[in-house]
Amino acid sequence: MAEKLAYLWPEVTLFLATCAVMVIGLSPSAAVRRLCPLISGLSLAAAGIFAIGTTPTLADGAEGLMPGMLPYAKAIIAAVGILIVMLLAGTVDRGEEEELAAGVRKFDPLRLTSGEFYAFFLFSLTGLMLTASADSLIWLFLALELTSLPTYVMVTISTARSRAKEAGVKYFFLGALGAAIFLYGFALIYGGTGSVHLGEIHHQITLQMAGDGLNGITLAGLLISILGIGFKIAAVPMHYYTADVYQGAATPVTAMLAFVPKTAGFLALILLCSAIGWHYGETGHALPDTIRLLLWVMAVLTMTLGNVLAILQTSMKRMLAYSSIAHSGYMLVGIIAGPGATFTESGISAVLFYLLTYGVMSTGAFAVIASLERTHAERTQTGELAYDEADSIEAIRGLARAKPLLGWSMVICALSMLGFPLTVGFFGKLPLFTSGIAAGELPLVIVLGINSAIAAFYYLRLVSYPLFDEAGDEAGGFITTPMRTRPAVAAIGAVGVLAMTVFAGPLMGLAHDAVQPKLHDSDAPIADEAMPTEEAEPVAAK
């Protein structure tokens, strides 16, 4: 275990920061309590630096199938996490802090939740980084749950309104169902292969595939596990909670939900599918037929249902929720395509790059929504002050004229999520097409293209409303929030979209390098058709 610390310093850093913010959040000094988001952001920056500086190999104790994925995945988690922590400012305790400053209320640590809120945020990102580090089913399960459990509480306490409590309860119970499903699948995988270590599971599955095929227990475990992990990425049929939870939570927390659980789910799918292996044939390479068929159906239904239902929405948060479902369907195409010799042929590289681009552009879009709020706060039935954020799409009519920074940020981020040419969203989606074609998945690529066209209908509303329409009564009721970091995140998201467009090539190269198997110096590359021996170190098929 000691050797694993060489690549777990990012997680250790976040854990230490978590302990710090839990204590600081209880301080009677408002100036000290305001350090919670700053410490969280600095710890994420430090974790990102530690991640970039460590590239573990199998010899260093990284027993997983894709140890090179660790630095890339953790670096993008830290980068997007910094944007999210800036966006979270003022989400909880805002009314309490205002009343404390005005002398209306005396300090009571039991009424303040900012310390716990930022601690849960850091716990969730720690779990997300641990997911990338997983080399066994036990580690993977615990990491996924550490990622998810804090988000249930964050949703519930994100606003003082009852809809947040309702969303939190719904999210918790459906999350427990999803966890039970993939944990049962993990148990069956252990029963069918005799091991919980991903490397050994890969070896046993290769032996089974070389014989009579996957045994029934292993196959059932893999199918059930994929279905359960589908909850994390909001894929059909595990998507039902998404729109209600996204709308019920405060917008900054919604932005977190759009990136953190989805990234955890796709990292888990990449590791699980790497243990299965993509086997080459006459028409390209693919997962075993039954598993490929499950992912194929999930991809088609997820992207289609997400885009069609997004068209029907007038709530921006529900629209972006169904959009998030559709984006999961797009990325499933990359999972089905598998790895490849070049970036344009590698679906796994495309998924890792797409997670980065989606994290930046979706956070920027949610930051615009979070930056618009009603001109005054209202008291809930419990007597707490609550601020209403924009939700109806009518709120952004004429936004580019009234508030150019927010309006143009929404336009740029929406065009990128559409995949408009010469945006980073286009360069993120293009490898999904090329890798699908290289893998011989032409029908799936056609469905992907049709859904990209369907998505234009509602994304162009997010472009035309702020850019070409006049502000109506609904838009006139909103002002820019005094939380200055929120408009800053919107601007950073838009600038990030433009900057990543310029540097798309190098970023794609880093994503491709991240999924190349790391061998011992004495190891020779193992051919795709070769079956590993008992002594050989199992590696992911290229």
- DSSP code per residue over 125-161: HHHHHHHHH--BHHHHHHHHHHHHHHHHHHHHHSSSS
pLDDT at 378: 64
Element (H, E) at 52: helix 35-52
Residue 180 has pLDDT above 50, yes or no: yes
Radius of gyration of the chain, Cα coordinates, nearest whole angstrom = 23
Q: Is residue 529 part of a domain?
A: no
Q: Is residue 515 part of a domain?
A: no
Across the range 73-81, mean pLDDT stands at: 94
Across the range 107-121, mean pLDDT stands at: 87
Residue 384 has pLDDT above 50, yes or no: yes
Least-confidence region, from 175-189, 252-266, 472-486:
472-486
Residue 473 has pLDDT above 90, yes or no: no
Tell me how far apart the alpha carbons of residues 58 and 30 are, in angstroms, rounded to a whole number.
47
Q: Is residue 178 part of a domain?
A: yes
Please name which of 293, 294, 196 lies closest in space to residue 238, comparing C-alpha atoms: 294
Residue 535 is encoded by which pair of tokens? 């002594």
Write the pLDDT tens digit of every residue in 246-263: 999 999 999 999 999 999
Cα torsion 172, 174, 177, 183: sign: negative
Least-confidence region, from 85-89, 360-364, 417-421, 526-530:
526-530
Residue 385 has pLDDT above 80, yes or no: no
pLDDT at 481: 85
Q: Is residue 437 part of a domain?
A: yes
325-355: b (≥16 Cβ within 10 Å) or e = bbbbbbbbbbbbbbbbeebbbbbbbbbbbbb
CB 68 within 8 A of CB 515: yes
pLDDT at 514: 83
Q: Is residue 456 part of a domain?
A: yes
pLDDT at 431: 92
Q: Is residue 303 part of a domain?
A: yes
Q: Count other Cβ atoms within 10 Å, centred on residue 46.
A: 17
Helices 347-370 and 404-418 cross at an angle (nearest 10°) of: 150
pLDDT at 381: 58
Across the range 388-416, mean pLDDT stands at: 90
Q: Is residue 362 part of a domain?
A: yes
Please name which of 403, 402, 427, 400 lies closest in space to residue 497, comparing C-alpha atoms: 427
Tell me how far apart the alpha carbons of residues 185 and 223 are, in angstroms, rounded to a whole number.
7
Residue 62 has pLDDT above 50, yes or no: no
Across the range 445-472, mean pLDDT stands at: 90
The residues, any chain, with a CB within 8 Å of residue 48's CB and separated by 6 or more, are: 10, 74, 75, 77, 78, 79, 82
- State the total domains in the chain: 1
| Mean pLDDT over the full length of the chain | 85
Which tops the pLDDT comparison, 341 or 518?
A: 341
Q: How confident is the model at residue 521 (pLDDT cuts 50, 70, 90)?
A: very low
Residue-number span of the structural domain to which 175 is assigned: 2-280+289-510
Q: Is residue 182 part of a domain?
A: yes
